Structure 1
Amino acid sequence: MTTPVLVRGREKAELDQEEISELPHVTRDVAVTCASGPQHESTWVGVPLESIVEVAGSPSETTHLAVTSADDCHVYVAIGDAMSGLLAVERDGEALENPRLVVPGIGGMRTVKDVVEIEAVSLSPDTDPQQLERHPKIDESKR
């Protein structure tokens, strides 16, 4: 892992590869649907997002996790959905160079690769989180 993951909640914490490896890991089979359409089920190993969020303390009013990648992809995952997800460090027995967001039931373009930041946020009920998202590679291909 080349870049630490910044975790923001009530406090801030930077987690490097060694610190992430020291947190409890779980293994989950999760299907990810690629932006191009095919669905792939893989066995992922990583740290439950619940444990990642605990590192910085999640405010009680948290509604979403905002997750940003090294290439500025930025997504919002509802906190209830996020708690079943992982900051994955391995896929099908192979180590990932950088961690990946893996959450059952969210679309493939929202399973952020090369995660550099996870922030606990509170969005108002009338905010559509997907309107706040950025997908640079997809947006660029539409130009």
Structure 2
Amino acid sequence: MSHMRVLLPVLVAMLALLGGCGSAPAATSVALTSTSAPPATSAPPVPPAGDVVVSGDVREPRTWTRSDLAALPQTTIEVRYESGQGPQERTLTGVGLTEVLPPDALATTDAKNDLLSFGVLAVGEDAYRALVSYGEVSPDFGNRGLLVALTEDGKALERPRLAVPGDVKGGRYVSDLVELRVVRIAG
């Protein structure tokens, strides 16, 4: 494939030169394909306040309502991280990400440790995105204790927030969470 990317411009230039040799130039069209997707610029789906959509490479897409999330086992954690406003210390209560997205929810194959080929793209209402590998989340591997927080410092959040305990900076904390999009990273 990389040879084609190098040869294609050469072939186009040769056709352009030949087109000017005594005859009317022929219309030449070359389609280049890319294996990478264009950058995501569209706004995420916006479910009702407090709801989180689970989509992508999952066995069954679904929407978790605030009451669904509140009915799951709750965990309280203390987190510290750096932000643009300086050091932050928060007490968050919510649902473990593995409760919302257990390993058997992923559209895995029989390949060895296939769930390590997945990531979870957390999307905020403002289209802010952060990716975590499922290996970090999985209780059998990283078991990092990621949390879909419903309260912060004892106050209910209007929309859930993804918390990534142990991160030095808070960039992967996604406020106003509206979607957890599971993506297969490796082929």
Q: TM-score normalised by the shorter chain: which range applies? A: 0.7 to 0.9
| Contact 1:13–1:55 (CA under 8 A) maintained in structure 2 | no
Residue of structure 1 equivalent to 2:136: 81
Counterpart among 59, 62, 67 of residue 18 in structure 1: 67
Q: Secondary structure of the equivalent of 1:10?
A: coil
RMSD, aligned CA = 2.2
Counterpart residue identity of residue 59, structure 1? A
1:40 to partner: Cα distance: 1.3
- Alignment partners' CA distance in 2, 1:45 and 1:7: 20
Q: Secondary structure of the equivalent of 2:102?
A: helix
Residue of structure 1 equivalent to 2:158: 97
Counterpart residue identity of residue 113, structure 1? S
Q: TM-score, normalised on structure 1?
A: 0.76
| Contact 1:33–1:108 (CA under 8 A) maintained in structure 2 | yes
Percent identity of the aligned residues? 29
**Structure 1 residues 4-15: aligned runs within 5 Å:** 4-8=51-55, 9-15=58-64
Show structure 2 runs of 5+ residues with no match. 1-47, 109-113, 138-142
- Alignment partners' CA distance in 2, 1:33 and 1:3: 26
Residue 31 of structure 2 corresponds to residue 31 of structure 1 = no
C-alpha change, 1:71 and 1:50, in structure 2 (3 Å) is: same
Q: TM-score, normalised on structure 2?
A: 0.60
Structure with larger RCO (C-alpha < 8 A, sep 6+)? 1
1:2 to partner: Cα distance: 1.2
C-alpha change, 1:56 and 1:13, in structure 2 (3 Å) is: farther
Q: Which has the larger radius of gyration?
A: 2
Question: How many residues matched?
Answer: 124
Counterpart among 51, 69, 72 of residue 99 in structure 2: 51
**Which structure's residues are more often strand, by fraction?**
1
| Contact 2:50–2:160 (CA under 8 A) maintained in structure 1 | no
Residue of structure 2 equivalent to 1:129: none
Q: Secondary structure of the equivalent of 1:42?
A: strand
| Contact 2:121–2:132 (CA under 8 A) maintained in structure 1 | yes
- Alignment partners' CA distance in 2, 1:11 and 1:54: 12
- Alignment partners' CA distance in 2, 1:124 and 1:96: 35
Q: Secondary structure of the equivalent of 2:186?
A: coil
- Alignment partners' CA distance in 2, 1:2 and 1:49: 19
